[in-house]
Chains A and B, each alone.
Chain A
């Protein structure tokens, strides 16, 4: 339960920090930290406008996507706290919950009948498909390392004594960071600021949403971002840490994460669309490498 609360609380300030960092690096003062949230509240008060060519799928998609994300968050443990939903093999359930939300968004985009949205949906599907093996192999190697298939047991019995293990932790942090940038449609894979439909990936997919639904989609994005930072934080939080220290580490990692995203978005350009595939598929061999490292650790061969 703690994980849900913490994620919800930090997702209030998370987008604000990114926007603030971006404005500071651009030499502006920037909006208040809570400005994105008040924008969201304004959107929540508005009604949605639906195109006549859409069906119930289009209306259902944001809600299902939001709900599946919340359930996924409930699975994640925090420090010594077990997640609300916890069973053997729950990490597979976790990944497929996220995939369900994404799938609904994709077919909702196809439902509008707009060619632009179909294009965005196709790109989103391709990128998720390429990132999924990396995510699976990453967590499978941790399963193998700890001998358990539930998030809690996996993270509970994970500890890093050797330099190799610490190196592997950094590699997996890198991989998780890249996957989260991809899943949240951020630079360098996708630019949230882009205003040309032909070059958008995620934004073009949700082009037809307005009002409440748009707010829900944006909120889902913010929560998903903080959820990934919780996953990364869990790699570094030991179960023996007291609660306040765990919360501090999580908050620190999340703020650091937001700053990193803000800096990345201010200083680097987006990949060309045709190079995106190449950049994403590189995550798979890195995961395989982590798997190999774990194999060496288990067999005591390093």
Chain B
């Protein structure tokens, strides 16, 4: 059952790579949050209620509700253009993301041993690589945040792949990191929109002293 969630997670990665609309990407983040919650619930059901509560907070509340909603709110308030403008065309992105995912599958099978779960590891690497790819291949700042969140989802899966050995503190640290970064991005966007109408980072090239 958990593998099914993992496969669906990888499908959402393809969808994010190909999607031309901002809100589709945000909805996919919600889906990813729910899938991660499913994986977490399936993986850690014998662990105590505090742990479960933290995971619930992390995946459902934070990833599937707060973050997408916050980004949507910022987008609406600043009237940001809702189409994704990639440097790499959709056709090429999907090819590159497929290659990244095949690469991570190979890596996961190469690293295979008893204490690692291959499917989680593969999905984690693909999440991390796809997140990085989205960050470097899209022009909007909002898409950079989305890429960052996808990367973080990959890291969460990585923590699941080693079982419950990863200390909770590490996870909480990453979570705090993301929270702060999303908040800062939001503030940044609110400020920047007073000066510039567009959130296209290619305009930054024309900045001079």
A residues adjacent to B (C-beta < 8 A) = 163-164, 167, 171, 275, 277-278, 281-282, 284-286, 288-289, 292-293, 295-296, 299, 301-302
Contact = CB atoms under 8 A, between A and B. Distances in A.
B14 A282 contact: yes
Contacts of A293: 3, 7
Contacts, number: 55
Contacts of A292: 7, 10, 105, 122
A296 B101 contact: no
B91 interface: yes
Contacts of B135: none
Nearest to B13: A285
Given A275-B90, A288-B102, 19 more contacts: A163-B1, A163-B4, A164-B1, A164-B3, A167-B7, A277-B91, A278-B18, A282-B14, A285-B97, A286-B14, A289-B7, A292-B7, A292-B10, A293-B7, A296-B3, A296-B118, A301-B112, A302-B3, A302-B119
Contact of A301 (B18, B94, B102, B119): B119
Contact of B91 (A171, A278, A296, A302): A278
A279 to B, nearest CB: 9
Interface of B: 1-4, 7, 10-11, 14, 18, 90-91, 94-95, 97-98, 101-102, 105, 109, 112, 117-119, 122
The 3 residue pairs across chains A and B that have the minimum distance between CB atoms: A302-B3, A285-B98, A278-B90
Contacts of B1: 163-164
A43 B11 CA distance: 45
A296 B1 CA distance: 13
30 contacts: A163-B4, A164-B3, A164-B4, A164-B7, A167-B7, A277-B91, A278-B18, A278-B94, A281-B94, A281-B95, A282-B14, A282-B94, A285-B94, A285-B101, A286-B11, A288-B101, A288-B102, A289-B7, A292-B10, A292-B105, A292-B122, A293-B3, A293-B7, A296-B118, A301-B117, A301-B118, A301-B119, A302-B2, A302-B3, A302-B119
Identify which of A164, A285, A302 gathers the most chain B CB atoms within 10 Å of its CB.
A285
A167 B4 contact: yes
B98 A288 contact: yes
A281 B90 CA distance: 10
A104 to B, nearest CB: 28
A289 B90 contact: no
Contacts of A277: 91
A296 B14 contact: no
Contacts of B7: 164, 167, 171, 289, 292-293
Contact of A296 (B11, B95, B102, B119): B119
Contacts of B97: 285
Contacts of B11: 286, 289
B118 to A, nearest CB: 5
A284 B91 CA distance: 12
A86 to B, nearest CB: 32
Given A289-B10, A301-B118, A284 B98 contact: yes
A289 B13 CA distance: 12
Contacts of B94: 278, 281-282, 285
A278 B18 CA distance: 8
Contacts of A295: 105, 109
- Listed residue (B90, B91, B118, B122) with the most chain A CB atoms within 10 angstroms of its CB: B91
Nearest to A299: B118
